[in-house]
């Protein structure tokens, strides 16, 4: 592979100004991450610790292998919702390594409303299980939850992907032969009691963990019987009488060690084999990304400059370099793993679509994971292009993306607008992981375009009734639309609703992608089958 030759002058005024602006954006991101990782209020944190309990992220740190990273997902879920009372949606999920095995970890944070579930908590939990299913990752559930947050019950109980989906997914994972271990470290109430009951092995902490379908207040209301939580569903009951739990732990640390011991007994599963190369750091400094990342999305950015700061040795074997240059395609390595990269360098034309579909076919044939790097305004519009069949050719790209059976990973480093989001493996196209940089935007179209369209519609309506739009009213409407699109198109709005798997620091992109690829190898890549490509 040839090394990309950078055209970036890191001493230029433009680069320095962009870097300064981006570092301000990055500081906001870091401040928000720091805030949500504190967990609940100081009162709840102190109460939690006085009970001898570890915090959710402390538990995870002890569970995973020493000196290995934890890829936390959707840290800013529910950001800006519930008056800030559900940081990280009250649950910590992510991929860690336990005795050398990539594992999905789901840990309730009892300092946040008792670990109860709102709609974002459920979506985050279900998303973690989906990732486990796609990648055949063992699951560890660190249970410390009061179940559904009752004031929100109408939004979390009855629908297809609501609370009941947890147990459906656990059943499917079990049938697939994917190990699931539950550690009951606090409350495990009502429907939540099925989390440990449906796991392969369950650990419960003495005088701390409880499991019951109906808690003491419900039992009293239903039967008149008065019973303590410990007598109803404590560790002693479930390890010596009911058999719902299998291992009795003295405290959190003991429970975590038992879980690690269990992992030593798990069956080894053969992984997907890739032609892995020696790891080589990028030739160019990854921190250059701070000066390259697009802030004003109207200004073009050469995606090859982004690629050069992410891939091994900054080496890239470009495919069809001279054809349809608004889409960059080619092969590289990320921390030794081979990847096929598809990156935007402008709007998508018919030629770009054909190039993208061709490249996807190459990667699926060779069983090479795909990385989509999004900075896309969409497909080209206009009379000439419609007559040239842009819809037909764009459909080929979408079709190839949808059916590619190699692991797909998506990073939005700029804009993600319109149908370009679909062709470039947006959320609807099931990438194994999808991340956004803090500067990125996502919506059906850009704010300026949306304002132009909506104002045009309004003016046409007025003209039909013989009226004209007042210039002041036009400017007011335009400002309102721009403000709405700025808020709803931000990376924080997206990540709050779990449209992605998290906002990331650009410098961490390389490491995060490598962790995702490593996890994907636990499920061997099936053969890709395509349907009908319209010619």
User: Is 327 found in the same domain as 366?
Assistant: yes
If one compares 406 and 382, the residue with the highest pLDDT of the two is 406
- CA distances from residue 468 to 457, 458, 477, 481, 494 in whole angstroms, order as listed: 12, 10, 14, 19, 37
Does any domain span residue 459?
no
Does any domain span residue 103?
yes
User: Is 360 found in the same domain as 217?
Assistant: no
Does any domain span residue 341?
yes
Q: Dump pLDDT digits (tens) for 138-158.
A: 999 999 998 889 888 888 888
Does any domain span residue 528?
no
Q: Dump pLDDT digits (tens) for 216-266.
A: 887 777 888 888 889 899 999 999 999 999 999 999 999 999 999 999 999
Does any domain span residue 365?
yes
Does any domain span residue 499?
yes
User: Is 110 found in the same domain as 73?
Assistant: yes
State the CB neighbour count (10 A cutoff) for residue 236. 14
Does any domain span residue 86?
yes
Residue 102 is given by DSSP the state E
Output the domain CATH number for residue 508: 3.90.226.10
User: Is 303 found in the same domain as 214?
Assistant: no
User: Is 311 found in the same domain as 249?
Assistant: no
pLDDT given at position 461 = 87
Domain C-terminal end among 232, 263, 294: 263
User: Is 303 found in the same domain as 258?
Assistant: no
User: Is 150 found in the same domain as 58?
Assistant: yes
Query: Do the beta carbons of residue 320 and residue 360 sit within 8 Å?
Result: no
Q: Dump pLDDT digits (tens) for 372-402.
A: 999 998 898 899 989 988 999 999 999 999 9
The band of 40, judged by pLDDT with boundaries at 50, 70 and 90, is very high
Dump the DSSP string for 296-354. Answer: STTS---HHHHHHTTSGGGEEEEESTTSSTTEEEEEEEETTEEEEEEEESS-B-HHHHH
Mean pLDDT of 112-127: 96
User: Is 197 found in the same domain as 315?
Assistant: no
pLDDT given at position 480 = 87
User: Is 370 found in the same domain as 229?
Assistant: no
Q: Cα(487)–Cα(74) distance, rounded to whole angstroms? A: 19
What pTM, to 2 d.p., does this model score? 0.95
Domain range for 516 is: 286-444+489-520
* CA nearest neighbour of 76 among 494, 428, 515: 494
Does any domain span residue 329?
yes
User: Is 365 found in the same domain as 235?
Assistant: no
The band of 460, judged by pLDDT with boundaries at 50, 70 and 90, is confident
What is the rounded average pLDDT for all residues in the chain? 95
User: Is 177 found in the same domain as 298?
Assistant: no
Mean pLDDT of 322-331: 98
The tally of domains found in the chain comes to 2
User: Is 102 found in the same domain as 68?
Assistant: yes
Dump the DSSP string for 165-233. Answer: HHHHHHHHHHHTT--EEEEEEEEEBGGGGHHHHTSSEEEEETTT-B-BSS-HHHHHHHH-----HHHHH
């Amino acid at each position: 592979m040839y090394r990309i030759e950078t055209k970036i002058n890191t001493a230029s005024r433009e680069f320095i100004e962009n870097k300064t602006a981006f570092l301000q954006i990055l500081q906001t991101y870091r401040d928000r991450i720091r805030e949500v990782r504190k967990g609940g209020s100081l009162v709840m944190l102190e109460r939690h610790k006085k009970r001898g309990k570890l915090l959710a992220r402390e538990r995870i740190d002890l569970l995973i292998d020493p000196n290995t990273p934890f890829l936390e997902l959707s840290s800013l879920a529910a950001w800006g919702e519930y008056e800030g009372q559900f940081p990280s949606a009250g649950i910590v999920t992510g991929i860690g390594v336990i005795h050398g095995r990539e594992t999905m970890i789901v840990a309730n944070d009892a300092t946040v409303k008792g670990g109860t579930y709102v709609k974002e908590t459920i979506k985050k939990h279900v998303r973690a299980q989906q990732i486990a299913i796609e990648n055949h990752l063992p699951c560890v559930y660190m249970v410390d939850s009061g179940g559904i947050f009752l004031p929100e019950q109408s939004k979390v109980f009855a629908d297809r992907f609501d609370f009941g989906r947890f147990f459906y997914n656990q059943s499917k994972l079990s049938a697939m032969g994917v190990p699931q271990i539950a550690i009951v470290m606090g409350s495990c109430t009502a429907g939540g009691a099925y989390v440990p009951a449906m796991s392969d092995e369950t650990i419960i902490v003495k005088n701390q963990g409880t499991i019951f379908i109906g808690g003491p207040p419900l039992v009293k209301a239903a039967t008149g019987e008065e019973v303590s939580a410990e007598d109803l569903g404590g560790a002693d009951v479930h390890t010596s009488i009911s058999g719902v739990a299998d291992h009795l732990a003295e405290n959190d640390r003991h429970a975590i060690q038992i879980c690690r011991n269990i992992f030593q007994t798990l069956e080894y599963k053969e992984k997907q084999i890739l032609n892995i190369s020696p790891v080589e750091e990028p030739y160019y400094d990854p921190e250059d990304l701070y000066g390259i990342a697009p802030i004003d999305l109207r200004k073009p950015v050469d995606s090859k400059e982004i690629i050069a700061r992410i891939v091994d040795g900054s080496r890239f074997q470009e495919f069809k370099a001279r054809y349809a240059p608004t889409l960059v395609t080619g092969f590289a390595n990320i921390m030794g793993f081979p990847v096929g990269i598809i990156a935007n360098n402008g709007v998508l034309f018919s030629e770009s679509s054909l190039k993208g579909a061709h490249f996807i076919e190459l990667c699926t044939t060779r069983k090479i994971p795909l990385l989509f790097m999004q900075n896309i305004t969409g497909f080209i519009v206009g009379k000439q292009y419609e007559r040239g069949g842009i819809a037909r050719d764009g459909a080929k790209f979408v079709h190839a993306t949808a059916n590619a059976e190699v692991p797909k990973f998506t990073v939005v480093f700029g804009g993600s607008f319109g149908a370009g989001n679909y062709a470039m493996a947006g959320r609807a196209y099931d990438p194994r992981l999808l991340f956004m940089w803090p500067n990125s935007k996502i919506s059906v179209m850009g704010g300026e375009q949306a304002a132009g369209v909506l104002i045009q519609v309004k003016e046409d309506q007025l003209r039909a009734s013989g009226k004209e739009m007042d210039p002041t009213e036009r400017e007011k409407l335009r400002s309102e639309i721009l403000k709405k699109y700025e808020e709803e198109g931000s990376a924080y709005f997206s990540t709050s609703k779990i449209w992605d798997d998290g906002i990331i620091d650009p410098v961490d992109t390389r490491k995060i992608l490598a962790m995702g690829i490593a996890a994907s190898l636990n499920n061997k890549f099936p053969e890709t089958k395509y349907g009908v490509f319209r010619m």
